[in-house]
Amino acid sequence: MNRVLRTALPSLLALGALAACTAEPATVATTAPPTTTVVPTTTKPAGPPPEPQPATDGQCPYLESSFVAEANGQRVPKVKLSADQPDPACFFYANATDVQLTVWVFHGDPATAKAVVDRAAPVSGSSPASAPDGWQGGSAVLAEGAVYAVAKGGDAVVVTSNQKQTIKTKRVAETVVANLGL
C-alpha cells in the first residue's frame, strides 16, 4: 500500500494543480466597509471679485456723462462699460486713453460687498464714509486721485477719480445710489 501511495501521490498532485488552473473562480460576496470623507469647512470668505475692466464703448445706464463732467471738472469724450450685469462698471475718460472717473456697483452678499469696499478704501488708510444714510465705508486721497467706497447690505459702490478731492467722488457715489434706488 505504501507503494501505491508513492505512485499515485505525484499524479494526484498534478491533477489537483491542473484542476485549480482550469476551474472557475468561486464568487465570494464581500462588503466593503463604508467610507467617510471629511470635507474641511472654512469660515473665511473668498474675498472680493476681481476689479472690473472696460470692455465696450457705451453710455453708463445709471450716470449721465454730463453729470460726471460737472462733478469731476473734466470733459467726458468717451465712456466704456465692463461686462458686469445688471449694473456694469462705468469708465469715464478724460481723453482717448486716460480714465478720469470709474464707478463700480457691486451686488452680492454683505461680506463680499464689505470686502469690495475694504479693498478700495482700507480702514487703515482712509477716512470713515457714511453717506448716503445707512451706507458705510471709507474715502481717501491717493497718489493717483481719490476714492469713495461704501456698502450697505449686499451692495457696494466704489468711485475713483483722477482728481484729489474726495468730495467729488462722494457726490458721484450719492448720485449713483439715488439713481439706482439702492
Whether 44 is covered by a domain: the verdict is no
Q: Which of 136, 134, 133, 138 lies closest to 169 in space, CA to CA?
A: 138
Whether 34 is covered by a domain: the verdict is no
**Rg (Cα) of the chain, in Å, rounded?**
35
Whether 126 is covered by a domain: the verdict is yes
Q: What is the pTM of this model?
A: 0.75
C-alpha cell at 5: 501511495
Whether 119 is covered by a domain: the verdict is yes
Whether 41 is covered by a domain: the verdict is no
Whether 32 is covered by a domain: the verdict is no
Spell out the per-residue pLDDT of the chain, length 182, in tens.
Answer: 444 444 444 444 444 444 444 445 445 445 544 444 444 444 555 689 999 999 999 999 999 999 999 999 999 999 999 999 999 999 999 999 999 999 999 999 999 999 999 999 998 889 999 999 999 999 999 999 999 999 999 999 999 999 999 999 999 999 999 999 99
CATH assignment of the domain containing 116: 3.40.1000.10
Separation of alpha carbons 162 and 102, rounded Å: 9
Instruction: Please enumerate, as own/partner, the contacts of 89-93 that have beta carbons within 8 Å and a separation of 24 or more.
Output: 89/52, 89/54, 90/60, 90/62, 90/63, 91/54, 92/60, 92/65, 92/68
Whether 133 is covered by a domain: the verdict is yes
> Which residue segment(s) compose the domain that 111 sits in?
56-180
C-alpha cell at 51: 476689479
